[in-house]
Amino acid sequence: MRQKSGDKHTAILQAAVKVFADQGFAEAKVARIARVAGVATGSVYNYFDSKEALLHSIFQNMWSHILDALSQLAEQQDVPSTQRLERMVDAVFARFSDDTNLARVFVNEQSFWMHRWEGDLADHFRTFMDLLGRTLEDAGLCKGMDGSIQRYLVFGAVRQLIHQWADPACPFTKEEARTQILHMLRCMTSKE
């Protein structure tokens, strides 16, 4: 079953997400990605420069989706800041609940490679964290809390839930996860 031409770029990307999720980047074979995508091994290199470029592209897509969604939220200045925070979490969750494999790639590979590449990926991440920090502060952190650090706590907490939730054996639903995150955020932002 050959893909419609023009779809190959996407087919390869999706296959890569799946294979990277299953075996990890290091163990993933380009030949397998090609097979999963339904194209020839060599074709992968018509669309991407290298195996690493494939991963890079996955993260680029991921971040641009997320940051697009978040920048839309940021414009909604009429929405109360507490609700903006909740919607932000929802947006992040939405991205990964669509695609469990992407979630697994994200939790396993992102931080290592972001560190190695030091480029636009790190920029995206910083943008994201700044936005998260600002939103937290808008929502009003409890007394003594420092937004520049709490942003990492919140990010880490959400990241871990995504991690758990991407595991097929995860005992709780996405909805429960979301509820608990919102509980935590409310605790942290309820005035003193």
| Sequence-distant (≥ 6) Cβ neighbours of residue 129 within 8 angstroms | 151, 152, 155
Between 41 and 83, name the residue whose CB sits nearer to DNA. Answer: 41
Nearest distance from C-beta of residue 192 to a copy of itself, angstroms: 9
The residue to which tokens 């996860």 are assigned: 177
Q: Token pair of 42, please?
A: 């060599």
Among 13, 18, 20, 51, binds DNA (CB under 7 A): 51
Rg (CA), the chain: 18
Query: Taking CB within 5 to 8 Å according to partner kind, which of DNA, a copy of itself, none is near residue 119?
Result: none
> CB of residue 148 vs a copy of itself: minimum separation in angstroms?
7
DSSP state of 16: H
Identified binder of DNA from the candidate list 13, 14, 24, 28, rule CB under 7 A: 28
Contact 81, 139 (CB under 8 A): yes
Is residue 156 within the footprint of a copy of itself (CB under 8 A)?
Answer: yes
Q: Which amino acid is at 137?
A: E
| Eight-class DSSP state of 2 | P
Q: Contact letters (x/-) for a copy of itself, 157-186, by CB under 8 A?
A: xxxxx-xx--x---xx---xx-xxx-xx--
**The pair of three-digit structure tokens given for residue 85, joined into one six-digit string:** 């925070």
Angle between helices 51-75 and 81-97 (to 10 degrees): 150
Among 10, 17, 18, 40, binds DNA (CB under 7 A): 40
C-alpha–C-alpha distance, residues 151 and 149, integer Å: 5
53 binds a copy of itself (CB under 8 A): no
Instruction: Please tell me the distance from the alpha carbon of residue 35 to that of residue 1, in angstroms, as a whole number.
Output: 11
Closest distance of CB 7 from DNA, Å: 9
Query: For the window 1-40, what string marks contact with a copy of itself as x by the rule CB under 8 A?
Result: -----------------------xxxx-------------
| Rounded CA separation 11/103 (Å) | 18
Q: Residues in the site for a copy of itself, rule: CB under 8 A? A: 24-27, 107-108, 111-112, 115-116, 142, 144-146, 148-150, 152-161, 163-164, 167, 171-172, 176-177, 179-181, 183-184, 187-188, 190
Q: Residues in the site for DNA, rule: CB under 7 A? A: 1-5, 8, 27-31, 39-47, 50-52
